[in-house]
Amino acid sequence: MAEYMTKQQAAEIVAAERFRRGITWRELAEEIGRPLVWTIAALQGQHPLTDEEAGTIGRLLELDEAVVEALEKQPYRGTLDGGAPSDPTIYRLYEVVSVYGPAIKEAIHEEFGDGIMSAINFELDVARRPHPDGDRVVITLDGKFLDYRW
């Protein structure tokens, strides 16, 4: 039997190799032609990559074959434990934080540096976007960036 690796282990290696080489998430996203947040989430183990995408990432970050293979596997998603709200409409928002929260964090740090989106100097809007396959709910979160400043 050859070696194998979990998606979580692969994600840690990808993050370390990316950091070591000074390659941005955005560059990785562009290399595989995918949106930024989707790419980060996928490389964090929340989405499966295609064989071609995983190969591209593997060549850029000089990953072992076992890491590349792990990127293609079907994920068991989510990062939050316990305390989920039971109402399905609210749960979907919680699921977004669980699946995409770490990716949003990385995207914020890459764009703004070390800090947060304020939830106090903050506003949000819920809108309807018509779509031929069914209208869409568009929720916009808009908060001031606050950098860690001692």
76 near its own copies (CB under 8 A)? yes
Min dist CB 121 to its own copies, Å, is 5
User: Hey, which residues between 131 and 150 contact its own copies (CB under 8 A)?
Assistant: 131, 133-150
Taking the least distance from each CB to its own copies, the nearer of 27 and 112 is 112
User: Hey, which residues between 29 and 68 contact its own copies (CB under 8 A)?
Assistant: 35-38, 47-48, 62-64, 67
Among 10, 11, 16, 50, binds its own copies (CB under 8 A): 16
21 near its own copies (CB under 8 A)? no
130 near its own copies (CB under 8 A)? no
Supply 37's token pair: 């947040």
DSSP line for 63-87: --HHHHHHHHSPP------S---SS
Min dist CB 27 to its own copies, Å, is 16
2 near its own copies (CB under 8 A)? yes
Rounded distance between C-alpha atoms, residue 90 and residue 126, angstroms: 13
Rounded distance between C-alpha atoms, residue 3 and residue 1, angstroms: 7
Rounded distance between C-alpha atoms, residue 53 and residue 117, angstroms: 31
Rounded distance between C-alpha atoms, residue 10 and residue 38, angstroms: 17
